[in-house]
Structure 1
């Protein structure tokens, strides 16, 4: 679509999600899709930063029954440590929860790196370069200096480093909480640095690289580059063919050559998922044209600037993408979708089907979630509606809340 439109104005949720991890992988390993994930079933020590896999089932590190695997880790004598500003469900289930000041994970990680190098606790077992540059970089980030910024006591930082080094196997894993921060890419790089320094990179019980269950559509075989072009208004660099969605409103509001005047969103609602949603909402109302492609029509959705809304693909297809990108095994799930406008009476949409592998208990839990979503949908439908520009009152078209949409 973007090629046919001849535009480089492509935005998605990736730039407010995992792209810092991919940029770090591209710069460090040459492949932005090379994402090492914890070997959950064999590790002895798991340090999680800014992730809540008990709720999310793992995201970049996806596995069936992630909560059960964390329980199994502790049951076999392993240790689970969570670093997070919030008392998440994952933090509550851990052996230890360390509160960190939001956005300062890179300081904490550098403090751990400093300790490993200063106390000669490293066990590097793969070929690396840049070790001396790393040593110089980490020199000023003593545990005491890191503690003043991140809020984790210096003694705890030193202990974390020693525990990671002493564990028979260990894995450090981080997710969106460490990505959506000022030094998100640095934090993602440091996670892999720690796994390398402790001898747990590409090793059973440490972090390992997955194999896709289907063809790898996202790998080009070309050397990784970024910043191949920049956004018009703020000159922000491109990454993996996308511009930061944080600058989408700038591109719509700022007059001049190349100003965005039309928008296509696919399976997303940037008014809810992108930064500064109210500003985007106002900007969308000034567009000449906007279309939403989505399998859902939710009357209470706030993306009121949309014009026509057209049906999209099977809502479960996002999980198929993960099979091609190495994200992990497809989990069982259930989704509810009200019948499409004009669907035959009694038609059962694919969104009502429980899919994936699971026990009868999993199916029952999925059924309960389906009923909860139905109740939520009925409550949402009772809210006041806002008409869409160019449509009669009572005929709103909305995008489904979710990922920030692709724009043109």
Structure 2
């Protein structure tokens, strides 16, 4: 690779924007990266995190070779070994486990560190290999399942608005989403709408960067979003502004849901949400009178005990107002449901049905029946609930743990074997954003450093070393990509691997503007299904606790990390300024806390240390501390997840990261 060339690729990280990028390669080295200016959603910009991606890929602490543990589990002490040695040890251990305990004793623990359909969690990524061995299924529920299920119950799909149509909205509700930190490319379309007169409201327990820029911020109590949705609809009914024609033609269970709305008066909802009744009425009037209204809700809003019900209630709003008729109307949670690829994991390779182990119940599930934990695209020691119990389980000497990684994360420290993984500029992949309507191709720009292998190549090598003969285990990356595009769905008409490799990205074959539910929904009846029974499920923290933990903790995304990715980047760590906890001035006064003081945030589950930031960005009774910090780089050796319980949301067994009681005291 002599001279200079530009290579088109795509960001693999867990963000709705899935940016198209351009890598400049000179004499075989990646020397520059920028957002693709030709991509209609990326528009030439990357985020503060991914702007440092090339620096991150070339970092001195990158894992470049296979390693074997030589110290106690948790010590992070390893020796370099060859790939043949690693594959032989893994093969011997896996065969012995399958022979003695059965394939279900293996837990393939996959995360969202890469959302590719070839190399990452969205697609194939080793699942055929695990099916041949009969390994336990892994339920990847950490991110969005409660909301997905809630939306499915209402609309028949989690998919909704094309986010680009927010440019046509006249009222925009940014509901439990911090757009300028977690998916900032949408802001350009919001700015277009504002230029045309749109009004923007941020509904969020925290006064985020986004809330600061909105026309109005409503600091709702965490987890009470469904109640607010019902209160706003109460005002819509008072005004007689429901779209009766749309309701009659395209919805079901209206009369029962109407009674539920009428029970949630603005006065009652004010008591639940902590918002002034006047603000609820004012926004309800604005909703009643403004078409189209677009609602943007992302994954943080459903990480509490009533998360599924919250998305059900929010998705009912455009059913009542008829906003689904209009470009710029409806709700946007995830566009993944519009992506109809053929993800063929070859479930027929399973010799018999196997159990399912739940990602967010790692401490509970990692009992004596699990003999091998295989972690890839995940850092559960930093990212999952009940951190202390997870650590105790990972210390088991009889647990054979393999981690495929790029850096020595908290989880790597507990591995028996570590396998070096490629980064995005070093392998091939196919991507689809869950915040836009495009497929993107990632062409490798440079050769992998050291002995790093892609996910697919690692499993191909291991299958060959183990003597497995199932042909589909050895499909090339290009063959896998061709299979993904072979579903025959009309949205993929005209989209081929050759075209993607040439152009870098292609819009799904849908209308523009795309208005998905003007004439019906993908439910059995073809109608939107309004909730039956109580539409508001209170969070765990809805009532005052009986014990000594009176504060509600929420754990939002950091501006400088993406989950725990970049949590070891020196410059981004410097900008993050270490773990901090936002405390309202009244709560700080009650506890005699001072700004900048080191405190202990704790409950019966665990504790972590942080620096206090006294701020009115959080309401009294609520504290906030960002996720993404690594345990071993944090004071006291713990992160926010040390105080998060292993509990389930109301639907889909979703996580409850924003629904925990704590107390805060000086260290």
Distance 2:223 2:168 in 1: 30
**Secondary structure in 2 matching 1:97:** strand
Which has a greater percent of strand? Answer: 2
Deviation at 1:137, TM superposition (A): 2.4
**Secondary structure in 1 matching 2:222:** coil
Deviation at 1:101, TM superposition (A): 0.9
After superposition, the Cα gap between the structure-2 partners of 1:26 and 1:378, relative to the gap in structure 1 and judged at 3 Å, is closer
User: Any stretches of 5+ residues in structure 1 without a counterpart?
Assistant: 59-64, 221-228, 232-241, 344-354, 358-369, 385-403
- Please show how residues 121-270 of structure 1 align to structure 2 within 5 Å: 121-124=241-244, 125=246, 126-201=249-324, 203-207=326-330, 216-217=341-342, 244-253=358-367, 259-270=369-380
- The answer on 1:271 being equivalent to 2:365 is no
- Structure 1 residue runs of 4+, over 6 Å off? 211-214, 316-319, 330-333, 336-339, 377-381
Deviation at 1:185, TM superposition (A): 0.5
Instruction: Select which of 194, 208, 222 maps to 1:74.
Output: 194
- The answer on 1:10 being equivalent to 2:138 is yes
* Coordinate RMSD, CA, aligned: 4.1
* Counterpart for residue 310 of structure 1: 419
- The answer on 1:31 being equivalent to 2:157 is yes
**Secondary structure in 2 matching 1:115:** helix
* Counterpart for residue 399 of structure 2: 288
User: Any stretches of 5+ residues in structure 2 without a counterpart?
Assistant: 1-126, 346-352, 453-502, 506-565, 576-628, 634-654, 656-667
Asked if structure 1 preserves the Cα contact closer than 8 Å seen for 2:231 and 2:265, the reply is yes
Question: What do the CA deviations read for 1:5-45 (whole angstroms, capped 9, x no partner)?
Answer: 43444133xx232112221232223335x333542111111
Asked if structure 2 preserves the Cα contact closer than 8 Å seen for 1:267 and 1:312, the reply is no
Question: What do the CA deviations read for 1:324-344 (whole angstroms, capped 9, x no partner)?
Answer: x675447999xx99974447x
* Counterpart for residue 90 of structure 2: none
Distance 1:202 1:320 in 2: 32
Asked if structure 2 preserves the Cα contact closer than 8 Å seen for 1:37 and 1:173, the reply is no
Asked if structure 1 preserves the Cα contact closer than 8 Å seen for 2:431 and 2:439, the reply is no
After superposition, the Cα gap between the structure-2 partners of 1:23 and 1:212, relative to the gap in structure 1 and judged at 3 Å, is closer
Distance 2:199 2:187 in 1: 14
After superposition, the Cα gap between the structure-2 partners of 1:338 and 1:252, relative to the gap in structure 1 and judged at 3 Å, is farther
**Secondary structure in 2 matching 1:201:** helix
Distance 1:107 1:338 in 2: 53
Question: What do the CA deviations read for 1:36-88 (whole angstroms, capped 9, x no partner)?
Answer: 35421111110011101111216xxxxxx322222222222111100111111
After superposition, the Cα gap between the structure-2 partners of 1:88 and 1:332, relative to the gap in structure 1 and judged at 3 Å, is farther
**Secondary structure in 2 matching 1:40:** helix
Question: What do the CA deviations read for 1:312-365 (whole angstroms, capped 9, x no partner)?
Answer: 454378984325x675447999xx99974447xxxxxxxxxxx979xxxxxxxx
Distance 2:354 2:339 in 1: 33
Structure having the higher Rg: 2
**Secondary structure in 1 matching 2:206:** coil
Question: What do the CA deviations read for 1:353-397 (whole angstroms, capped 9, x no partner)?
Answer: xx979xxxxxxxxxxxx9x9464599999x89xxxxxxxxxxxxx
Distance 2:363 2:232 in 1: 39
Distance 2:232 2:429 in 1: 35
